[in-house]
Amino acid sequence: MVMGQGLTRLILAIALLVACPLASSATDVPIVLIANPNVPIDSLTRETIRAIFAMRQRTLPDGQAVHVFVLPDESRVHARFAKEYLGVYPHQLRLSWDRVVFSGTGQAPNHVDSQAEMVERVATTPGGIGYIEQGYLDDRVRLLPLQ
C-alpha cells in the first residue's frame, strides 16, 4: 500500500516533469522570421541570420541591401527571437549594434514598436527582414524558414 502510493507519486511527478515543458511551449506562440516578398531566398542559415541581426552583414545572399527591423529590447518577443533564433541574449545584440554604430563598421537596425508595425514595415520595405509571433503573419510578407 505504502509502496503503491510512492509509486503513484513518482509516476505523477514524472508525468508533471514531462508535461510541463509541453504546457509552457503550448502557450508560447511560435516566432517566425519574415521578409519582404521581393526577397528571393527560400531559407537562411543560423549564422547568416546572426550576422544580419548583429548588423554585420549588410546584404542578402542575392546581393540586395538588407533592412533589419527589430522590436524594443525589453519586448518579450524580441528576447525570445534573440534566444531561439540567434542563440544570443538581447544585451549581446545591443552591444553588437553599439559597436558597429560607433566604430563606423555598420548601422543600427530599424526599430518598430509593435508586431503589427513590424509586418507593415517589412511588407513595404524592399529587402526588409524581421520577426513576429506566427499569429501576426499575413500574405503581405513571406515566411523565411531556418535552414
Q: Please give the Cα distance from 44 to 80 (Å, whole number).
A: 18
Under 8 Å between Cβ of 144 and 46: no
Backbone angles phi, psi at 65, to 5 degrees: -65, 135
Sheet containing 142-143, strands listed edge to edge, beginning at the edge strand earlier in sequence: 110-111, 67-70, 128-133, 31-35, 142-143
Tell me if 26 sits within 8 A of 65, measured CB to CB: no
Residues 8-67 that bind another protein (CB under 8 A): 44-48, 50-51, 56-59, 61, 63-65
Q: Nearer Cβ to another protein, position 84 or 138?
A: 84
Q: How far is the CB of 57 from another protein (least distance, A)?
A: 6
Size, binding site for another protein by CB under 8 A: 36
- The nearer residue to another protein, 93 or 119, going by C-beta atoms, is 93
Name which position in 96, 114, 117, 133 contacts another protein (CB under 8 A). Answer: 96
C-alpha cell at 82: 534573440
Chain residues that interact with another protein, rule: CB under 8 A: 44-48, 50-51, 56-59, 61, 63-65, 72-74, 86-89, 91-92, 95-96, 98-99, 101-108
